[in-house]
Amino acid sequence: MIDKKEFLNVAKLEKGDIIEDKSLNLMGEITIPVLNILNKSEFDYLDISDAIFGIAYEPHWTCHGWSHSGPVESVSYKKVEMLRVFLENIRAKTILLPDNIMQRHINSAKLNEDIKELKVNDTCPQFAYENGKLMNKKKTRVVFER
């Protein structure tokens, strides 16, 4: 079991960990094993603005045809962007996003029905101020809410 702390360094997570906190600030690199641990829990609030999301390689099977003994397959590895995978799979109601958020990440989060609200920090360039006004349609730091 993970102790309640202001920040959870995901590098310290182990396969059998159970996270009971409903509100966490994550820091460290989010990898597929870390995501598998996080996906065991439901969260009310996750701050991922200090987390690191890179690229992972996931096995991808290709069927080339059939032989007398069955399918002829080969495995290749495709790149997956961890922030998109995270946002598509995490069970959290509210998420504070990193500053390098892009529209494709927001679109991925919209596919996840568990996410009710996405927010950004003041430092997010996509939601910057111009002449004292926030330059997005809602004039707010909330990216979307349901």
Domain residue extents for the chain? 21-55+81-125
Q: Which residues contact 97 (CB under 8 A, 6 or more apart)?
A: 48, 49, 105, 118, 119, 120, 124, 143
CB 108 within 8 A of CB 84: yes
Q: How far is residue 72's CA from residue 103's CA, in Å, rounded to a whole number?
A: 38
* Residue 78, token pair as written in the block: 């495709």
Percent of the chain with pLDDT over 70: 86
Residue range 112-144, pLDDT digits in tens: 999 999 998 877 777 665 555 555 545 457 777
* Residue 8, token pair as written in the block: 């959870």
* Residue 70, token pair as written in the block: 């069955």
Q: Which of 2-6, 15-19, 24-28, 55-59 has the lowest mean pLDDT?
A: 2-6
Q: How far is residue 46's CA from residue 19's CA, in Å, rounded to a whole number?
A: 12
User: Residue 4: what pLDDT?
Assistant: 45
